[in-house]
Chains A and B, each alone.
Chain A
Amino acid sequence: MALPLRYNLRNLLARRASSAMAALGSALTALLLVVLLAMGEGMQSSVVGQADPRNVMVLHKGAPAEWSDITRDIPPIVSTFEEVAAAEGGRSRASLEYWNTVWLPQDDGSESLVVLRGVQESAKDVYDWFRLESGRWPQGSEILVGKAAAKRLDLAIGSSLEFGRRRWRVSGIFSARGTAAESQVWGDLDDFMADFRRDKLSVVALRMKTAAGVSSFVRRVERDRRLADYEAKSESEYFEQEASFLGFMAILAGVIGGCMGLGAALGGMNVFFTSVAQRTAEIGMLRVLGFPARSVLLSFLAEALLLGLVGGLAGATLGLGANLLEADIWGSTFRFEVTGAIYLRAVVVGVLFAAFGGLLPAIRAAKMRPIDALRKG
């Protein structure tokens, strides 16, 4: 015979203050988890979201894009491989690029990091996410600015920016489906290379005919003796490596969320031990009326779970507000993203820790002998 749930609800309402405190612990745990995981998710999708499963990057072996050096004789070799898709007019879908990161002086005397990318118009053949929101493709001493970079650096079409050896005029603003590319500044490949006195490219990005062609292209580059100093990587692999630092965020969320949950569980445990002590006579009475020990245990556990659920839902729901947050880190702007999985995970963690907090007091209540409970009460 189980105790009705209404009994538990009334008990929780009768001890409003302590119930609220126990629920608060679960709520704050869920809230913190949501915010931390949303931050990690936002960074992850901002970096990895640039990757297209059909795209490949050719780089100098072992080097990230900004340190990579590719001689001009390489693009004609890799762009003629049979896996590479063709654009209108029969030319290969290839984007020759120069990457650099520079410090841009700010009005307050500080400096801000910005990723520069020298490209040709053929970049549009490779990157589906590219949208010219306003303005036009840059010509001599002009630049395109990503939406996030425009906001961060307070730039609009017609305004100018000084870096390298000259002043550059903004000719257009582009978007990139909210990815990290929106924090970049693009300019004409030859202009950028001339300005930074560079004779080597950084990256050759290519679109394959199919996603399956990626691995075959990578193997072909590995086998080709002319390309011994270079390697090909799928965009997904490259950007996942770039985002590997996010492992730290996962550890951090785990440690902070775990400790918060444990602390909240201990706080809840205290509340439930008191509740058991105050209801000793009541427990004895229930046992005398014929409710078995298991029903008492489940009843106390149900109270803990209810509080955990209410707290977890409240905290995770409050955490949805994180969707409105944006952060600038290392020159990239990203939005916090609360996904369904994150919301659910936070609620489950809130409930589980509350259940853990309620378990020992529930066992103590269930173990009470009816006669002792009645005498003590």
Chain B
Amino acid sequence: MSPLRLVLRNVRRNLARSIIMGLLLFVFMFIFSVIAGVLSTVGEMRSGAEDSLRLGVSQKYAGAWKSEMPNTYVRDIAGIEGVVAATGLRFIGGTVRSEDDWAFGYAVEPETIAEVRYELAEPGAVRPEQWRAFTSKREGVLVGFRALQKHGWSVGRRHTIKTWGNLPELRFEVVGTIDHADFSDNFLIHLDYMEDLINDEGKVEQIGVRVASPTDQDRVARAIANHFQGRPVQVVVRSDEAFIANMLEQMSDFVMVFYVLAIVIFLTCFAMTLVSLSMTIRERTTEIALLRALGFSVGWIRRLTVVEASVLAGIAGTAGAFAAQGVFRMMNLQVPIGFTGSLNIPMRAVLLCSALAFVLGGSAAVLSLRSAFRAEVAHVLRKVV
């Protein structure tokens, strides 16, 4: 009999136990993927900022969330040596369908935003005709794919946001979607259109700057800060990397909790898989002794059992990881730490969980087999007879 048929027969022989073990791995890999997804989101933010060509300019001596600079600073900065492009933006937020349905976006300068937020110009991020519609239509808005779904908006239709404070309602037309993770939960609106609506012109809250290479960051940052030295409104310049590092530092304890959770879940999963396999193998001690009596080597039996456990655990674990990815996509769960947006389980995390499940099944099988191989063949067979 071929080893594969033997494996299948073994799985079928105690179907209830195989199903339980499969479900066990499914559930544990589901939850492990969720944790891996959170940690991976954090990791992606950190690594994404490392080779960024961007600097962020905000008002010095203002609050962390309350910066206000004259919009003439944008053109001043664009003229500084080493600056490839500069663009001004303001933050805007409000409720859509209910008090809990919050939408956040950026009021941007359409002519320059894609030069600084170069992710928008990446192939597939925004369809060219939609980008043209955005730049040409003053009340046009581009919406991240998750935000579109979340707020029930659709391309070509007009929608309204109730802004906070006593600002007027923000009416706009959705002209396209942004298919990029960095903008998935936000929208982009024309800065001048928003200023007209709220009757508050000539200010920007942040200025995005693009430099030619990451090594230029420090030099250009110093040049910008020096340029505005002594002015009534001075500025502070941070690189993307420093900003993200600071933000992540503020929630490092939260991230630590997730690492601990990941370890505990992994250990629990390993212990439960080990105990399940030990039970299965204990029941098959006689069969293993018989195979050895028939001349099959210890290595062959080990390979057979390890393959059986790995395949079962791997398939179930992979299904659990994919299920987690699907569920979280459907739920569109927002992580309430502001800038990270929706919780997403990337394919990398799914594949990691899948590989982990294979390894988990295999290693639990190796450990469980040790006691079965320790038993004397003759002794076990005598018991049967």
Contacts and interface: CB of A to CB of B under 8 A. Distances in A.
Give the most central of B30, B251, B271, B334: most A CB within 10 Å: B271
Given A18-B279, A101-B64, A263 B245 contact: no
Contacts of A60: 165-166
Contacts of A66: 63, 65-66
B17 A21 contact: no
A322 to B, nearest CB: 10
A8 to B, nearest CB: 19
Given A113-B64, A229-B166, A263-B28, A24 B271 contact: yes
A112 B64 CA distance: 10
Interface in A188-223: 195-197
A45 B31 CA distance: 28
Contact of A266 (B20, B254, B264, B282): B20
Contacts of A244: 336
Nearest to A364: B16
B241 to A, nearest CB: 12
A300 to B, nearest CB: 16
A260 interface: yes
Interface in B10-35: 16-17, 20-21, 23-24, 27-28, 30-31, 34-35
Contacts of A270: 17, 20-21, 24, 272, 275-276, 279
A160 interface: no
A266 B265 contact: no
Contact of B264 (A31, A164, A273): A31
Contacts of B250: 112-113, 328-331
Contact of B24 (A22, A61, A248, A263): A263
Contact of B166 (A32, A61, A67, A329): A61
Interface string B320-348: 00000000000001111100000000000
B197 interface: no
Contacts of A67: 65-66, 164-165
A331 B64 CA distance: 12
Interface in B43-93: 61-66
B23 A260 contact: no
Contacts, number: 146
B257 A327 contact: yes
Interface string A162-177: 0011000000000000
B283 interface: yes
Contacts of B367: none
Contacts of A111: 246, 249
B253 interface: yes
Contact of A63 (B64, B165, B269, B282): B165
A266 B19 CA distance: 10
B278 to A, nearest CB: 8
Interface stretch (A138-146, A251-259, A369-377): A251-259
Given A32-B261, A329-B253, A263 B268 contact: yes
B21 A101 contact: no
Given A259-B28, A260-B265, A327-B257, A267 B276 contact: yes
B248 to A, nearest CB: 10
A57 to B, nearest CB: 16
B31 A260 contact: yes
B34 A256 contact: yes
A39 interface: yes
A112 B63 contact: no
Given A62-B164, A271-B279, 9 more contacts: A28-B267, A195-B61, A196-B63, A197-B61, A245-B336, A251-B333, A256-B34, A270-B21, A330-B337
26 contacts: A62-B166, A63-B164, A66-B65, A67-B165, A100-B63, A110-B245, A110-B246, A113-B250, A116-B63, A245-B337, A248-B333, A255-B31, A259-B30, A264-B268, A266-B20, A266-B23, A266-B24, A267-B24, A267-B272, A270-B17, A270-B24, A270-B272, A271-B275, A273-B20, A274-B283, A329-B251
Interface of B: 16-17, 20-21, 23-24, 27-28, 30-31, 34-35, 61-66, 164-166, 245-246, 249-254, 257, 260-261, 264-265, 267-269, 271-272, 275-276, 279, 282-283, 333-337
